[in-house]
Structure 1
Amino acid sequence: MKTLSLLKAVLTEDMNMFKYSAGKNASVKKKILLPVFLFLVVAYSIGYYAYMIGKPLHEIGLTYVMLSLFIFMVSIITIIEGIYKSQGILFECKDNDLLFSLPIKRSQILFVRIFKLILFQYIYNLMFLLPAFVIYIYFEHPSISFYIISFIMTILIPIIPTVISSILGYLVKLVSSKFKSKKIIQTILSSIIFMGIFFLSFNLNNFIEDIAGKASSINDMLTRIYYPVGAYTTLIDKFNIIVFIKLLLINIIPFILFILLGGKYYFKIISNSKESIVRKSKNKKEVYKKNGPIKALTMKELKRYFSSPVYMFNTIFGLLLILVLTVLLCIKGNSIIEMLLSNEKLSIDISMPVIYYILVLFSCLMTLITSSSISLEGKTINITKSLPISEKDILKSKIIYPYIIELPFVIISELIFFIVFKVNIIYILLIFSMSISTITLSSILGLVINLKYPKMNASNDTEVVKQSMSSMVAVFINMGIIIISVIGIFSLYDKLNIYLLLSTHVFIIILVTIILYYILMNKSIKEYRSINV
């Protein structure tokens, strides 16, 4: 009963990612319309790729390989997502002290938190798996057993990846707790693991380039790497009770062992972390400096940013990626471009500077810092609002601090590219202008979205950064801007002078930024005032 009560409390308070402000008189349909619409848009896009993969496989009778690829891909995504989600949900919840003081077994607390982690992962998994299942059904018209096995497999898929990612998150937390700057170390370790998994997955793309010709070998490889993939494809072809029992045991036994063993050890990490904070605060000598209001608020935002590993990790990956890709471009050049465009059938020869322009655009827009900054304040927002500082200055400080985080990565990457490829001054001015205006656009847009959909009652940073409506909406809108920009640049590339084309693109970004700034400083300020926690 204690487990059920705790589970109910956690899910009621923390799992409502669609809890956003839609107005007092908004209907239920209006409140759920945006999440459903975004889900369907993503599912449709993924379904299109599933169809493109499944069609050549169907012609040679190997459609099931498409399902193997999607299950393996979803498992990798779950591990990547779980590495830093687990650090927030398992170790950094605000209710740790309360739960530890209650007569509840530690294994029960761990179970509830792991269950929450898995349950939320189902939402992401379904966006990938449902379209794949629909495409398979379209091509193969399977029997009723396919639906039953696929339903069970959908439930089982996140379990092993979540256990693996939680162990990795535990190790990261364990190692980082030994260092003085544990938050920075935690972020660095997470980023190293993340980049390693990312590049391993990225290189897999070369192996599956000729999907139809290599289908059997791909499926054999995935089966050897990850047994549940092979078990699933075997079961949908012909049900085998032995294989089915193995599939259940391989997923359930590691989960149970992790709960039992983790309940004994992982709470020590939390205690060590708290002790190091206390020691640091006792030995710390406070030095007070007088700063202007905007500078003081900007420093406050930076301290909040660097105090949250999940916040840093979620935003810094795109910046690390552009730096790594820049170095790779300088070393391997055209081979990297061919790899990036290997799945695109382009009839035009895109130059290296234009490709790099798009990579920088992608990096700046997908570094979403401010889409969580309002929600992360939580109850402290009332303190900030009570200060003798104008709301405009508060919002301006939130626009400024992303520059301090992003510009060093972007400028260093661009300087490396400029030196190696010896581009002219016009291109240098254009890409610098695009970088600064895009960072500004992303910062202002993130604030507008976060003020529209605030989540002020989260129990940890992970819920705000990864599980809030504002974060999800910001990702989709920025991705839409990238897609529209890429389509426009590729479509007009051979019709307009390249500098005129890029200048027009920069001008449009600046124009949209000015419009959003006006909205932020007028309509969004009213929404900021209305937030009460």
Structure 2
Amino acid sequence: MINVWRLTKLQLLSSFGLNKALHTKDPAERRKALLLSIAMIAGILMIGAVSFGYSFMMAQSFEQLGRMDLLLAVMMAVTSLVGFFTTVYKASGVLFSYKDYDMIMSLPVKTSHVVASRVLQLYVMNLFFTLLVMLPAGAVYAIHVKPGVLFYLFFLLTLFFITLLPIIAATLVGTLISWVSSRFRASKILNMILTFAFIIILMLGSFTLNQGQQAIADVGAALGDMIFMVYPPASLYVDAVCSYRVSALLFFIAVSVLVFMLFSILLATRYKAIHTGLMTSRASRGYTMKPLQANSAFKALYLKELRRYFSSVNYVLNTGIGMVLLLMMSISLLFVSSEQLGTILDIPQLSDSLSTLSPLVISLFVVLSCTTACSISLEGNHLWILTSSPVPKPAIVFSKVAVNLTITLPITAVSWGLLAYTLHAGWMESILMLAVPVIYACYSALLGVMVNLKLPKLDWTSEVAAIKQSASVLVTMVIGVLTLAVPAVLFMLLPGVGGNLILLGYCILMAAVCAGMYRYIQINGERLFQKL
């Protein structure tokens, strides 16, 4: 067990850059670490406050029904679902795709210990979200119910086991997808297709379930039965925490730990074979001599970056899922009217403002699909090749921006056509529905690469650390979402001003910001690269 703990600790210190932050002597690095820590603490407090607010509003409804236990059941189920969903497409990267595989496997530790440490790394990543959701929910429950001492003891004990079963289930799905795809030549492409297909099927199933249960969602007993039927561990959790049943508590903890141990032992038997299958390169055909094609420096860099993007399963899954969800939403609205959507979401006035809000909704998916926020970091220890290449450094930056636009703009255009037809938007709404997301696509791509030049993470051992856990990705996403919130806030503060006018003015402002960022990279690109 001590080996599992040591491996997990080393991986977490490396993934989150804690070693560098704690032991660096560079004043600039210390200031950067301090500012990031302050920003993260502020973000955690804000998310915690929002979570508390949601729990408090839900508690008022559940208190009227006399079913306060449903508050913890719902929040536990939501935490488990989000943990499962976010782990499926990053499990393969954390388990198998890391650069120090040879060094780790050469250590005198069992393969099952290595597997357990990788799963625990996924567990810790999801534990933060669990704490942000469940601690406010537990506080709200305690305020309304005023439970005994056993509640606090059982609540804290179960808190660390809530996310374990969903992560094991998601890791199992991710491992099966990796194992199946590793047996074929195009293993990475097949891995992407299978993972995307599983996520789409899961979301379609959840949407169908929500529609079928909407009529009884307001009835306490029916809602509880639905949660306990779909996710049985929620019943054990509620029995243990709310009813103080020791047997349910012990069974819940025992099942979580036992499943974790069995999974680690069983995966260890095929771990090396799966890794070999995923990492092995195969020649698709024999090489034949033919005239070589010459391209411009920019086109060569663009094609190189495009190949790099599609060669990484984690890169595609983490940055492409937003555009897939946007396309799914656009297609689904062909079969669901805006009035029906308002009824499902319990927002009666949604149909009246959907055409005005749709540019911001599309832009949200675009902002969440930024590929440039980690594009510099992913160069890793090969960055010297780019920095020493005889090409203008702004061309390198703009090639990464071009790949981002290649991923976002085509799907944005298709979704725009579908939504403009579905929502029966007028000519002004249609223009804004296309212009705003396109400008935000340019903005997020330029913002991502600029932030990544300022906050690179080049010492990663697993791509997941650069793609999901780097400061540049977090900062880019937060800034992108905040800039989207500005017009939404203006809608509420200026009800007398037309929504189209606000969007048009903000659209012009963001276009000017994009032009300024483009010019900044042109002038300072060389200097920024030299500082890496």
Fold in common (TM above 0.5)? yes
Which residue number in structure 1 is paired with residue 13 of structure 2?
12
Return the offset for 1:45.
Answer: 1.6
Unaligned ranges ≥5, structure 1: none
Residue 452 of structure 1 contacts residue 524 of structure 1 at CA under 8 Å; is this kept in 2? no
Which residue number in structure 2 is paired with residue 295 of structure 1?
299
Residue 448 of structure 2 contacts residue 476 of structure 2 at CA under 8 Å; is this kept in 1? yes
Return the offset for 1:467.
Answer: 1.7
Q: Please, which of 266, 270, 281 is the counterpart of residue 265 of structure 1?
A: 270
Residue 71 of structure 1 contacts residue 129 of structure 1 at CA under 8 Å; is this kept in 2? yes
| CA distance, structure 1, for counterparts of residue 431 and residue 32 of structure 2 | 49
Q: 1:281 to 1:192 in 2, by over 3 A?
A: closer
Which residue number in structure 1 is paired with residue 319 of structure 2?
315
Q: Please, which of 356, 359, 362 is the counterpart of residue 357 of structure 1?
A: 359
User: Amino acid of the residue matched to residue 233 of structure 2?
Assistant: P
Q: 1:59 to 1:286 in 2, by over 3 A?
A: farther
In structure 1, the residue corresponding to 2:459 is in which secondary structure?
A: coil
Superposition map of 1:123-134 within 5 A: 123-134=128-139
User: Amino acid of the residue matched to residue 170 of structure 1?
Assistant: T
User: Amino acid of the residue matched to residue 100 of structure 1?
Assistant: M
Q: Please, which of 414, 417, 420 is the counterpart of residue 416 of structure 2?
A: 414
| CA distance, structure 2, for counterparts of residue 22 and residue 350 of structure 1 | 54
In structure 1, the residue corresponding to 2:28 is in which secondary structure?
A: coil
**1:105 equivalenced with 2:110 (yes/no):** yes
Which residue number in structure 2 is paired with residue 370 of structure 1?
372
Equivalenced residues, count: 526
Render the CA deviation track for 1:474-514: whole Å, top value 9, x for unaligned.
2222222233333334655x634554333223112213323
Superposition map of 1:449-528 within 5 A: 449-489=451-491, 492=494, 495-497=496-498, 499-521=500-522, 526-528=527-529
| CA distance, structure 2, for counterparts of residue 175 and residue 310 of structure 1 | 17
Which residue number in structure 1 is paired with residue 97 of structure 2?
92
Q: Scaled by the length of structure 2, what TM-score is found?
A: 0.90
Return the offset for 1:440.
Answer: 0.3
Residue 88 of structure 2 contacts residue 170 of structure 2 at CA under 8 Å; is this kept in 1? yes
**1:280 equivalenced with 2:283 (yes/no):** yes
Which residue number in structure 1 is paired with residue 55 of structure 2?
50
| CA distance, structure 1, for counterparts of residue 88 and residue 289 of structure 2 | 34
Which residue number in structure 2 is paired with residue 250 of structure 1?
255
Render the CA deviation track for 1:355-385: whole Å, top value 9, x for unaligned.
4323322222221211111111111111111
In structure 1, the residue corresponding to 2:369 is in which secondary structure?
A: coil
Percent identity, aligned pairs only? 23
Return the offset for 1:74.
Answer: 0.7
**1:146 equivalenced with 2:148 (yes/no):** no
User: Amino acid of the residue matched to residue 503 of structure 2?
Assistant: L
Q: 1:525 to 1:44 in 2, by over 3 A?
A: farther
**1:434 equivalenced with 2:453 (yes/no):** no
**1:324 equivalenced with 2:325 (yes/no):** no
In structure 1, the residue corresponding to 2:460 is in which secondary structure?
A: coil
| CA distance, structure 2, for counterparts of residue 162 and residue 475 of structure 1 | 24
| CA distance, structure 1, for counterparts of residue 499 and residue 242 of structure 2 | 53
Superposition map of 1:7-86 within 5 A: 7-16=8-17, 23-24=28-29, 26=31, 29-86=34-91
Render the CA deviation track for 1:281-328: whole Å, top value 9, x for unaligned.
784568743222221111121111101111111122221222222222
Computed over aligned residues only, the root mean square deviation of the Cα atoms, in angstroms, reads: 2.8
Q: 1:147 to 1:511 in 2, by over 3 A?
A: farther
User: Amino acid of the residue matched to residue 500 of structure 1?
Assistant: L
Residue 13 of structure 2 contacts residue 19 of structure 2 at CA under 8 Å; is this kept in 1? no
Residue 393 of structure 2 contacts residue 525 of structure 2 at CA under 8 Å; is this kept in 1? no
| CA distance, structure 1, for counterparts of residue 123 and residue 521 of structure 2 | 36
Superposition map of 1:157-176 within 5 A: 157-176=162-181
| CA distance, structure 2, for counterparts of residue 292 and residue 333 of structure 1 | 48
Which residue number in structure 2 is paired with residue 393 of structure 1?
395
Q: Scaled by the length of structure 1, what TM-score is found?
A: 0.90
Unaligned ranges ≥5, structure 2: none
User: Amino acid of the residue matched to residue 165 of structure 2?
Assistant: I
In structure 2, the residue corresponding to 1:180 is in which secondary structure?
A: coil
Q: 1:202 to 1:138 in 2, by over 3 A?
A: farther
Return the offset for 1:464.
Answer: 1.5
Q: 1:286 to 1:522 in 2, by over 3 A?
A: farther
